[in-house]
Amino acid sequence: MRARGFLAVVVLSLAGVLAGCVPRQPPEPDSRIAAAAAIKELKAARAKVPGGYRVDFSATWWNPEDGSWAWSGTLHGTGGDWQASSELRFAGAPYAHLESVQVGDVRYHRQTGEVNFGQWRRYDGSALANSFVKLRYDPVSKTVTSRAVYRMPEVDALRYLDVAVAAKLPRADLPGGGHRYELHGIEWAPAEPLWQQLKDAGIISPNVTVDVGGDGLPSRVTLTASGSGTMWQVTVTMTVHDIGAAVTVSPPPPDQVVPGER
């Protein structure tokens, strides 16, 4: 009995020594605290943009009513106002050339191609969004029955850096410096009005990745979403260039503007 008691004491003592030799892992930081810090870093990256910039963007999605769409173009922005020129393709073929201008809380669109706007269309309020007009045909008579307005993703990359809330916001190091921030589905929401604009386009709970370079400036934003309504399997890529460039944005002449279709 004494031998067994002595052996137990030795084993317990040895276990205590070994435990003291093993470094303890620090506790995992609370995910919300880490997310709050990452949100501040993203806002700082946006605030660091010293003026104008260029965004090259491309997007694809599938509309269950008709098929696949692809959209690409260039946006020149000031951090608030912007102007963009882009090409829209349907089923691999050119469908429309789109021009857009946003000044303050008003956005203007002009479309040429299958549908031609002789004048700019003006949008504000809940209609403030990227959109295009599509003709609807009667399958029997092959005649146009109506014109429908379809929403598209928002492509001013800097707006995605303004995160309102995030339960988790993982951050990873990028080769050569900088960080990649990952915003997943229902775990985050951007600031308004971007959040509502995405939902109105059928983009619910998107996954967004933001790359910030070693200089602290945003370089790339990608968005993917399963989608809903007329926009499914959404993928958007936005790359930021020419940061600090001089950009001037002006609205179209008033005599070339009419109310937009809704």
Query: Is pLDDT at 166 greater than 80 in this prediction?
Result: yes
**62 shares a domain with 7:** no
Domain total in the chain: 2
Between CA 7 and CA 16, with CA 12 as vertex, the angle to 5 degrees is 145
Between CA 133 and CA 261, with CA 129 as vertex, the angle to 5 degrees is 40
pLDDT digit string, tens, across residues 127-152 = 999 999 998 877 777 777 788 899 99
Query: Is pLDDT at 217 greater than 90 in this prediction?
Result: yes
**137 shares a domain with 91:** yes
**7 shares a domain with 94:** no
Q: What is the pLDDT of residue 29?
A: 58
Percent of the chain scored above 90 by pLDDT?
76
**134 shares a domain with 22:** no
**233 shares a domain with 179:** yes
Domain range spanning residue 189?
33-259
**16 shares a domain with 119:** no
**233 shares a domain with 175:** yes
pLDDT digit string, tens, across residues 10-42 = 333 434 433 444 444 444 558 889 999 999 999
**147 shares a domain with 85:** yes
**83 shares a domain with 22:** no
- Domain with residue 147: its CATH number is 2.50.20.20
**Average pLDDT of the residues in 85-103:** 97
**What is the pTM assigned to this prediction?**
0.85
Q: Is 229 exposed, middle or buried (0-12, 13-18, 19+ CB in 10 A)?
A: middle
**Average pLDDT of the residues in 207-227:** 97
